[in-house]
Amino acid sequence: MSADPGIVIIGASLAGAKAAQALRLDHGYDGPITLVGDEPHLPYQRSALSKGYLLGTTGPADLDVLKPQFYADQDITLALGAPATALDLDARRVRLADCTEFPFTQVLIATGARPRRLRVPGADLDGVRYLRNRDDSEHLAAALRAAGNVVVIGAGWLGSELAAASRTFGNHTTVIDPLPTPVYYVLGDRIGGLIARRHRDHGVNLLLGDGVEAILGTRSVEAVQTITGRTIPANLVIVGVGATPNTELAQAAGLCVDGGILTDGHLRTSHPVAVAAGDVARHHHPRYLNPVRIEHWDNAVIHGTAAAATLLGKPTTIDHVPYFFSTQYGSTLEYLGLPTTWDRIITRGEQTTPGFTAIWLDRGIPVAALTIDNRGAADHLRTLIATAHPVDPQQLADPDTPLLDLLPTRRAVPCEAISYGRPRRPNPGQGSASTTHAPRPANA
Ligand SMILES: Cc1cc2nc3c(=O)[nH]c(=O)nc-3n(C[C@H](O)[C@H](O)[C@H](O)COP(=O)(O)OP(=O)(O)OC[C@H]3O[C@@H](n4cnc5c(N)ncnc54)[C@H](O)[C@@H]3O)c2cc1C
């Protein structure tokens, strides 16, 4: 063991654990690694918390990012159950709430995000819940089992999954959102309207273009009053109105923060010993004009791996096409790209049948895509978007034309665009973390 105090990773979750794994397995780094986490659990997958774990079809062991013995096998020190409360980058020390201190040579900040709070009268009543961590999911599952009348506030990806879960538990379910369609900023009204139809087909009372005026009740929730004057009975309210990055520690340490910890394209922050990764990082991305902060499972995995390389002075380029998956009413939705400008949407396949795909075009160039139950297509769509080449809309609309036939011929495609075939399932605790395009977790 060297006298080097090594690398401290703050945030023992997906990005942090993947960074630790890549440091050891991809790069053979043999210095000390300390993984600091405020939650008592080993790093786990959050994506299942609104899906299989909430519904009881995924067990706790399936949530593990890495096999529990990985940390001991790889000599990774775990400091769990106490948050880091002070970070001194010049002195290179981090202090935890329990007064433990760890020196470091470099630090990775992967503190993630937390739910944005609803600020309306009654928001602190019993029965108003948020979902971010494993304990939230367990309590929410118990509440959903006993609820009866559920109101979900927010019709984004999370709100949509929560509505689907609530219906699976047999609850009368209302979703309230001020925007015209679910996931509006990402999908727009046409494809968002399709998501709306799916909710309504599954018995959800979808109140769009309306907001929450107040949550009513004496001690616990009894109803939700909307801005347009509706009163919706509820004994459980679930809030899914977005997330706020956990930047306070970084900001107090003097790092540049603006809607996330600002980093360059290699996740380097404004201080030479600090790197940031995952939901908390707002990084330069060569595909986009402004720095992006991406709250996706895939992004956290890619960031963890890239952060390890940067920490070891071997920075890699992060220019992936953002990828998100969601499970609703037994269907898998996959979305690639970032909300950006588009002037046309091409669809392939029937909206109600598996295999449906929508592709957003900007001046003929594919910039984003959504598939429903068409898992094999994501890699091809990623290639199409990464290539950033205009395609023939008529051919694109023809489901019998293979997507890769639309690529320009006799022209090199960017390395990032090379397809790796069907996404592989993760093998926690094993193998390399260097997959360019992370497979989504099998347990979602
Ligand atoms: C319910 C839910 C469902 C999701 N579903 C999907 C999905 O279907 N598809 C998808 O692509 N993505 C999904 N996501 C997003 C995905 O899970 C996140 O993008 C991913 O977890 C980000 O990983 P991270 O390691 O950056 O941050 P996090 O997972 O948020 O981990 C950060 C960790 O740092 C800890 N921490 C914070 N401050 C401190 C401190 N001061 N000291 C010590 N520890 C600290 C936090 O408690 C947390 O444990 C979902 C997220 C949630 C919450």
* Ligand 1 lining (C-beta closer than 6 Å): 10-16, 36-39, 46-47, 49-50, 83-84, 110-113, 131-132, 158, 246, 249, 278-279, 295-298, 300, 324-326, 444
Pair 234, 254 in one domain? no
Pair 248, 108 in one domain? yes
Pair 148, 105 in one domain? no
Average pLDDT over residues 49-77: 97
In this predicted structure, what is the pLDDT of residue 350?
83
Average pLDDT over residues 91-111: 98
| pLDDT surpasses 70 at 436 | no
Pair 295, 146 in one domain? no
Quick one: tokens of 38? 């405020």
**What amino acid occupies position 84?**
A
- Residue 425 covered by a domain: no
| pLDDT surpasses 50 at 204 | yes
| pLDDT surpasses 60 at 384 | yes
Asked if 150 and 144 touch (Cβ cutoff 8 Å), the reply is yes
Ligand 1 pocket, mutate which of 107, 279, 305, 335 (most atoms under 8 A from CB) = 279
- Residue 318 covered by a domain: no
In this predicted structure, what is the pLDDT of residue 415?
53
How many angstroms does the Cα of residue 360 sit away from the middle of ligand 1? 28
CATH number for the domain including 190? 3.50.50.60
- Residue 340 covered by a domain: yes
pLDDT tens profile 349-376? 887 678 899 999 999 999 999 999 997 8
In this predicted structure, what is the pLDDT of residue 425?
31
Domain count, the chain: 3
Cβ-based neighbours of 370, under 8 Å, separated by 6 or more = 187, 191, 333, 334, 335, 336, 357, 358
How many angstroms does the Cα of residue 273 sit away from the middle of ligand 1? 23
Pair 229, 327 in one domain? no
Average pLDDT over residues 242-255: 98
- Residue 226 covered by a domain: yes
pLDDT tens profile 16-29? 999 999 999 999 99
The rounded mean pLDDT for the chain is 92
Q: Which domain holds residue 267?
A: 7-114+244-311
In this predicted structure, what is the pLDDT of residue 440?
59
- Residue 423 covered by a domain: no
d(CA 276, CA 49): 24
End-of-domain residue from the set 286, 311, 336:
311
How many angstroms does the Cα of residue 165 sit away from the middle of ligand 1? 20
| pLDDT surpasses 70 at 410 | no
In this predicted structure, what is the pLDDT of residue 3?
82
Pair 132, 225 in one domain? yes
Q: Is 61 helix (H, G, I), strand (E, B) or coil?
A: helix
- Residue 14 covered by a domain: yes
Closest-CA residue, ligand 1 atom 15, reads 296
Closest-CA residue, ligand 1 atom 9, reads 325
Closest-CA residue, ligand 1 atom 50, reads 47
Tell me how far CA of residue 192 lies from CA of 58, 167, 358, in angstroms.
28, 19, 11
In this predicted structure, what is the pLDDT of residue 340?
75
* Confidence at 421, pLDDT banded by 50, 70, 90: very low
Quick one: tokens of 283? 């990084």
Pick from 436, 400, 432: which is nearest to 419 by CA?
Answer: 436
End-of-domain residue from the set 281, 311, 341:
311
CATH number for the domain including 358? 3.30.390.30
How many angstroms does the Cα of residue 400 sit away from the middle of ligand 1? 39
Pair 194, 228 in one domain? yes
How many angstroms does the Cα of residue 373 sit away from the middle of ligand 1? 25
In this predicted structure, what is the pLDDT of residue 6?
98
Closest-CA residue, ligand 1 atom 28, reads 112
End-of-domain residue from the set 198, 223, 241:
241
Pair 35, 99 in one domain? yes
How many angstroms does the Cα of residue 135 sit away from the middle of ligand 1? 13
* Ligand 1 atom with minimal separation from the 303 CA: 26
